[in-house]
Structures are given as C-alpha cells and as structure tokens.
Amino acid sequence: MKECENIPNGLNAILYFLYYVYDVNDTETYQKLEAHIKNTYASEKIERFKQAVNWAIDTPEFIFEKQLPRLAKSHEEICVYFNHLKKILDKM
C-alpha cells in the first residue's frame, strides 16, 4: 500500500458517502446513493466523482483508510464500494 501526492479532487467526497453505506454489497443502498447523487450534485461535481472513482479503481494500492481515519471499512470493502459506485456514476 502507498500514499500518493496526486489525489483527485472528489476522492474525499466519494469516501464520505461510505459513512452511510453499512453493507458494501447491499443493492438498495446503492439505489438510494444514486438518487442522492442525482438530486444533490451538479454535473460538474459528478464528473469529479467519476474521475476520483476511476483513479481509485486504477490505484488500489493507495491507503484510502488514511483519507477519512474514522471510516470503519476495510481496504477490501472500500475497493468493492468503488466498483459499485463506478456502475452508478457511469449511468449519469
């Protein structure tokens, strides 16, 4: 695992959503998250989320847990979440 200097704008925001994801494999949670993102964020912000999630998927060795220290998710759970989130964001 490694730290990185070129962290994309939007990474902390998409990690913050994880505070509200209790089970990273629960499809109902992602349906709610999709509605929240669509109804809350402008397209420019959603594009930043897309860039951040793509970067996260391409950089799995990054220590995501250090970005939000109180996030009670394992590295593996965070990576699963990113893949689910990518599917949501790709539809927007």
- Asked if 42 and 80 count as a contact pair (C-beta separation under 8 A), the reply is no
- Asked if 28 and 71 count as a contact pair (C-beta separation under 8 A), the reply is no
Distance CA 43, CA 2 (A): 31
pTM score of the predicted model? 0.89
In a domain, 76, yes or no: yes
State the total domains in the chain.
1
Write out the residue range of the structural domain in which residue 40 sits.
11-16+24-90
Blockwise average pLDDT, block size 10, the chain, 92 residues? 69 92 94 95 95 95 87 93 96 92
In a domain, 56, yes or no: yes
How many Cβ atoms from other residues are within 10 Å of residue 48's Cβ? Answer: 17
In a domain, 54, yes or no: yes
DSSP 26-78: -HHHHHHHHHHHHHHS-HHHHHHHHHHHHHHHH-TTB-GGGTSTT----HHHH
pLDDT (0 to 100) of residue 3:
55
pLDDT (0 to 100) of residue 5:
60
